[in-house]
Amino acid sequence: MNAPASPPSPYSSAIGKSNVESHTLSVLVDNEPGVLARVVGLFSGRGYNIESLTVAEVAHGEHLSRITIVTTGTPEVIEQISHQLERIVPIHKVTDLTVGGKFIQRELAMVKVAGKGESRVETLRLAEAFRAKVIDATTESFVFELTGSTTKIDDFVELMRPLGLVEVSRTGVAAISRGPERI
Amino acid sequence: MSRQMTGAEMIVEALKDQGVETIFGYPGGAVLPIYDALFHQNKVHHVLVRHEQGAGHAAEGYARSTGKVGVLLVTSGPGATNAVTALTDALMDSIPIVCISGQVPTHLIGSDAFQECDTVGITRHCTKHNYLVKRIEDLPRILHEAFYVAAAGRPGPVVIDVPKDVQFAVGTYSAPRGIHHKTYQPKLKGDRDKIRQAVAMMAAAKKPVFYTGGGVINSGPAASHLLRELVQLTGFPITSTLMGLGAYPAPDPQWLGMLGMHGAYEANNAMHDCDLMIAVGARFDDRITGRLDAFSPNSKKIHIDIDPSSINKNVKVDLGIVGDCAHVLEDMVTLWRSGAHEQDKKAHESWWKKIDGWRARNSLAFKPSTETIKPQYAIQRLYELTKDRKTYITTEVGQHQMWAAQHYYFTEPNRWMTSGGLGTMGYGLPAAIGAQMAHRDALVIDIAGEASILMNIQELSTAVQFRCPVKIFILNNEYMGMVRQWQELLHGGRYSQSYSEALPDFVKLAEAYGAHGIRCSDPAKLDDAIKEMIDHPGVVIFDCRVDKAENCLPMIPSGKAHNEMILPDEDDDIGSVIDDKGKMLV
Ligand SMILES: Cc1ncc(C[n+]2csc(CCOP(=O)(O)OP(=O)(O)O)c2C)c(N)n1
Ligand SMILES: [Mg+2]
């Protein structure tokens, strides 16, 4: 008995639908089995978007992991997401870095490009401009390692496309606030 | 105190330490060690249900009627999957229950072993939290933590999945110590400044209304007392959701009746026209708000809730106060008493006048009959004949549930148990058993429909075995009445599959189970038949044959606003009131 996507349901929220924003959330969790499934399940179950999600243990002794989620939604939806995340029992803290103001986001990508002759020179020239490192090379291919913002990596990948882009592996976004404070 | 014992013994020990006297369960291979541990003691009383869903709803009924955590015990695989509906029900209605499930031994997990299922995976979405216990060392902590998580903050169901080898393993048990959870610490006290602001808004309001919900019940009896005090002090009108009935006494003149889809006309109109809404422990569910963009368009809204995610979820409010209802209400009462409030008496008078005008529409009226029993009349008589006793009411789901909510007047919290959020047919009988197990001397009645009752009819056997003298009062209209009503509303009265064909003879059915059966179809004989039911010392099925065509009104049709209700005297053509958009909704 699900209502179809359109027309919009009179029961769904009538508050601001147009101003969709991208937010980066930092979530500190107890590193216990199933915690990632809880977070991902929350997003799928409630129909929220995940643009990027990364997770790794950050304090081994305390069994703490940090999940960075880039999501999109109206400010109301983003607030809901934070509150819903806070309800998950093993979650210590949810911080909306975007609301907090100044923060840095980085992604790491490995980009494989194949080609011969002239295009190889052009590839290397561009890689240098992006400060991408060559981490593997054969006579007909390169693998570049590149860190930076999501858009920087997007741009690099687009430039490589006509030069023989083979495949890309990206880590997703990790983020941290600027200044001395911790989240 | 620490002692060496097996995992199974720890489970029983933890139940004792948590003050659990009664659990509901069903045995199987993966929980045999726990059943053996239960066998060796007599402090924890085990009620053998006939289906694990029944165990879950019984635990809910027990929890809802006592304010304590309800416990169920089920085996792995089908035992756990059978409990899923009840867990989801408890999640939707915020009922604290702990479900202990058996699991195949740890070394077999993932091998598709006999009666293996991914219980924590399946129940992750229908519990507040769940655990798979992989090491005996973790078991005591998890057991105690589960009770804390189930009851703290916004209550809910918790599953502890215990592999069989962990039940056999020996370890050190320690009793629960002071509750300090490292991540889960809900905020109980509301922000003082915000409460002050709320009181100022209340003092200035011209057309206020209290809108209260199940959170007030969950917060404990003190919350209901404080709510009554605050409502009396302010003189404001009050309405409540289905889940909140009983927090405020229904016979009181300030009570407007239940609100929402089948709420009273005066309650819904007061919500629509108010200038200040004070929501306490309620969650702006779609059954309550109706069409959102027309929901109470001109009011300021205050929302008190222990769950921050409930605030601004469906409806944007002007002032959100995170905290436990009892704590916040207490502060409000204190602040209100300490200030001299210049309320606009004139405005209040005219607000009440307006409300009285809506009241005069008599929206719960029905056409009386001397020929057939009107279902509403049956509930009214049931109320009159039971109101002076300690009575607990549970329901199934459908028209009878709404008529019970409309026509049975609750005066105390924890006396009314119904499946609100999930709307689970089959809830009422096991919930009644759960309530009766906790209140042996009380009168416990399941107000049922003839279709719903068949969903967990097997629990009749449980009731008889445990001398649980519940009364099943079936409003038998030979239809899935609520489905039939919607088919009239939306589908031209084409009653596709909603006739209750081939019904059992409920009197004989009662007798087959060793219970007592009563049938009545004559309004003149109804009182005597109800008295017979009350006076019978054992389990009773009352087959109350009611008008088959009655619809449950008033009603906010799907997709409409609070001030667009269908009233009982305007229901001639209910097939034409819902537009195409509304037809998409449930
Ligand atoms: C488990 C379950 N299945 C289906 C429904 C949908 N449903 C809601 S009310 C209803 C009919 C209930 O009939 P009955 O118990 O006779 O109650 P009445 O409405 O006639 O009072 C149905 C099928 C439900 N709520 N729960
Ligand atoms: Mg029926």
- Confidence check: pLDDT of B518 > 60: yes
- Confidence check: pLDDT of A3 > 50: no
- Confidence check: pLDDT of A8 > 50: no
Give the model's confidence band at A5: pLDDT under 50 very low, under 70 low, under 90 confident, else very high: very low
**pLDDT at position A93:** 96
Name residues whose C-beta falls within 8 Å of residue A61's C-beta, 6 or more positions apart in sequence: none
Instruction: Tell whether B339 and B395 lie within a shared domain.
Output: no
Residue linked to tokens 């304590």: B68
Please identify among residues 364-393 of chain B the ones whose CB lies closer than 8 Å to any CB of chain A: none
Going by their DSSP bridges, the two strands B129-132 and A103-114 should be labelled as unpaired
Are the C-beta atoms of B240 and B248 separated by less than 8 Å? yes
* Structural domains of chain A, ranges and CATH numbers in brackets: 11-100 (3.30.70.260), 104-175 (3.30.70.1150)
Does the beta carbon of A154 lie under 8 angstroms from any beta carbon of chain B?
no
**pLDDT at position B89:** 98
**CA B166, CA B156: separation in Å to the nearest integer?**
25
First to last CA, chain B: 53
- Confidence check: pLDDT of B277 > 80: yes
**pLDDT at position B572:** 65
Instruction: Tell whether B90 and B127 lie within a shared domain.
Output: yes
Indicate the burial class of B318 (C-beta count within 10 angstroms; 0-12, 13-18, 19 or more): middle
- Confidence check: pLDDT of A11 > 80: no
Range of the domain at B212: 192-360
**CA B406, CA B554: separation in Å to the nearest integer?**
10
**CA B435, CA B438: separation in Å to the nearest integer?**
5
Give the model's confidence band at A12: pLDDT under 50 very low, under 70 low, under 90 confident, else very high: low
Tell me if B183 and A91 make a contact (CB, 8 A cut-off). yes
Instruction: Tell whether B90 and B168 lie within a shared domain.
Output: yes
What SS3 string covers B102-166? EECCHHHCCCCCCCCCCHHHHHHHHCCEEEECCCHHHHHHHHHHHHHHHHCCCCCEEEEEEEHHH
Are the C-beta atoms of A96 and A23 separated by less than 8 Å? yes
**CA B400, CA B473: separation in Å to the nearest integer?**
10
Give the end of a domain, one of B334, B360, B386: B360
Weakest-pLDDT range from A15-24, A30-39, B81-90: A15-24
For ligand 1, whether the C-beta of B480 sits within 6 Å is yes
> Tens digits of per-residue pLDDT, B5-58?
999 999 999 999 999 999 999 999 999 999 999 999 999 999 999 999 999 999
Instruction: Report residue B229: phi and psi, to 5°.
Output: -60, -45
Are the C-beta atoms of B447 and B379 separated by less than 8 Å? yes
Amino acid at A158: E
Residue B557 belongs to a domain: no
> Tens digits of per-residue pLDDT, A109-149?
999 999 999 999 999 999 999 999 999 999 999 999 999 99
Helix B52-66 with B78-92: angle, nearest 10 deg: 30
**pLDDT at position B559:** 87
**CA B498, CA B481: separation in Å to the nearest integer?**
8
- Confidence check: pLDDT of B1 > 80: no
Instruction: Tell whether B288 and B434 lie within a shared domain.
Output: no
3-state helix, strand, coil split of chain B in percent (to 5) is 45, 20, 40
> Tens digits of per-residue pLDDT, B341-371?
889 999 999 999 999 999 999 999 999 999 9
Instruction: Tell whether B157 and B209 lie within a shared domain.
Output: no
Give the model's confidence band at B492: pLDDT under 50 very low, under 70 low, under 90 confident, else very high: very high
Is the four-CA dihedral A135, A138, A142, A143 of positive or negative sign? negative
**pLDDT at position B123:** 98
- Measured between CB atoms, which of A34, A79, A90 is closest to B312? A79
Instruction: Tell whether B7 and B94 lie within a shared domain.
Output: yes
Are the C-beta atoms of B373 and B546 separated by less than 8 Å? yes
Amino acid at B138: D
Are the C-beta atoms of A83 and A91 separated by less than 8 Å? no
Q: What value of ipTM does the predicted structure carry?
A: 0.92
**CA B117, CA B195: separation in Å to the nearest integer?**
48
Average of per-residue pLDDT across B520-548 = 98
Tell me if B183 and A34 make a contact (CB, 8 A cut-off). no
**pLDDT at position B178:** 78
Chain A CB contacts of B559 under 8 Å are 10
Residue linked to tokens 């990508």: A109
Edge to edge, the sheet with strand A52-59 lists A52-59, A64-73, A21-30, A91-96
**CA B212, CA B227: separation in Å to the nearest integer?**
9
Are the C-beta atoms of B63 and B158 separated by less than 8 Å? no
Q: Record the tokens describing residue B293, joined without a space.
A: 């963009």
**CA B330, CA B308: separation in Å to the nearest integer?**
19
Residue linked to tokens 């005597």: B528
> Tens digits of per-residue pLDDT, B225-238?
999 999 999 999 99
Indicate which ligand has the atom closest to the C-alpha of B402. Answer: 1
**pLDDT at position A17:** 57
Give the end of a domain, one of B360, B391, B416: B360
Amino acid at B133: V
Are the C-beta atoms of B201 and B308 separated by less than 8 Å? no
Please identify among residues 279-298 of chain B the ones whose CB lies closer than 8 Å to any CB of chain A: 286, 289-293
**pLDDT at position A18:** 72
**CA A143, CA A137: separation in Å to the nearest integer?**
6
Instruction: Tell whether B338 and B241 lie within a shared domain.
Output: yes
Residue B181 belongs to a domain: no
**pLDDT at position B179:** 72
Residue linked to tokens 């109206």: A74
Return the active site residues of B.
Answer: 52, 114-115, 164, 482
Q: Record the tokens describing residue B4, joined without a space.
A: 């060496």
**CA B578, CA B6: separation in Å to the nearest integer?**
61
Tell me if A87 and B312 make a contact (CB, 8 A cut-off). no
Q: Record the tokens describing residue A120, joined without a space.
A: 């190889």
Residue of higher predicted confidence among B330 and B342: B330
Per the prediction, chain B carries an average pLDDT of: 96
3-state helix, strand, coil split of chain A in percent (to 5) is 30, 40, 30
Are the C-beta atoms of B209 and B239 separated by less than 8 Å? yes
CA-CA-CA-CA torsion for B439, B445, B449, B455, nearest 10 degrees? 30
Instruction: Tell whether B273 and B355 lie within a shared domain.
Output: yes
**CA B149, CA B128: separation in Å to the nearest integer?**
8
- Confidence check: pLDDT of B528 > 50: yes
Give the model's confidence band at A100: pLDDT under 50 very low, under 70 low, under 90 confident, else very high: confident
Q: Record the tokens describing residue B352, joined without a space.
A: 């009440």
- Note every long-range contact of B35-39, with CB atoms under 8 Å and residues 24 or more positions apart, other chains counting: B36/B8, B37/B6, B37/B8, B37/B9, B37/B11, B37/B12, B38/B12
- Confidence check: pLDDT of B437 > 50: yes
Please identify among residues 44-73 of chain A the ones whose CB lies closer than 8 Å to any CB of chain B: 45
> Tens digits of per-residue pLDDT, B55-82?
999 999 999 999 999 999 999 999 999 9
Residue B93 belongs to a domain: yes
Amino acid at A97: L
Residue B510 belongs to a domain: yes
Quote the ligand 1 centre to B452 CA distance (angstroms). Answer: 6
- Confidence check: pLDDT of A14 > 80: no
Distances (CA, A) of B17 to A142, B34, B143, B192: 65, 16, 10, 36
Quote the ligand 1 centre to A121 CA distance (angstroms). Answer: 72
Residue B584 belongs to a domain: no
Atom of ligand 1 nearest to the CA of B455: 1
Q: Where are the alpha helices (DSSP H) in B236-302?
A: 265-273, 286-289
> Tens digits of per-residue pLDDT, B143-174?
999 999 999 999 999 999 999 999 999 999 99
**CA B55, CA B80: separation in Å to the nearest integer?**
11
What single string gives the DSSP state of each residue in B531-556?
A: HHHHH-SS-EEEEEEB-SS----SB-
**CA B362, CA B250: separation in Å to the nearest integer?**
16
Residue B502 C-beta-side C-alpha neighbours within 13 Å: 1
Tell me if A1 and B125 make a contact (CB, 8 A cut-off). no
**pLDDT at position B583:** 78
Strands, E assignment, B235-376 = 238-240, 255-258, 276-280, 300-305, 319-322
Residue B43 belongs to a domain: yes
**pLDDT at position A1:** 37
- Confidence check: pLDDT of B573 > 80: no
**CA B520, CA B543: separation in Å to the nearest integer?**
6
Residue B89 belongs to a domain: yes
- CATH code for the domain in which residue B498 is found: 3.40.50.970
Are the C-beta atoms of A9 and A69 separated by less than 8 Å? no
Instruction: Tell whether B356 and B380 lie within a shared domain.
Output: no
Total domain count for chain B?
3
- CATH code for the domain in which residue B253 is found: 3.40.50.1220
Give the model's confidence band at A6: pLDDT under 50 very low, under 70 low, under 90 confident, else very high: very low
Residue linked to tokens 């001639």: B572
Name residues whose C-beta falls within 8 Å of residue A35's C-beta, 6 or more positions apart in sequence: A29, A65, A88, A90, A91
**CA B374, CA B354: separation in Å to the nearest integer?**
30
**CA B287, CA B258: separation in Å to the nearest integer?**
11
Name residues whose C-beta falls within 8 Å of residue B177's C-beta, 6 or more positions apart in sequence: none
- Measured between CB atoms, which of A7, A86, A92 is closest to B308? A86
Name residues whose C-beta falls within 8 Å of residue B504's C-beta, 6 or more positions apart in sequence: B454
Chain centroid, CA B375 distance in Å: 21
Residue B550 belongs to a domain: no
Q: Record the tokens describing residue B527, joined without a space.
A: 């009182």
Instruction: Tell whether B153 and B202 lie within a shared domain.
Output: no
Instruction: Tell whether B439 and B319 lie within a shared domain.
Output: no
Instruction: Tell whether B252 and B281 lie within a shared domain.
Output: yes
**CA A25, CA A32: separation in Å to the nearest integer?**
20
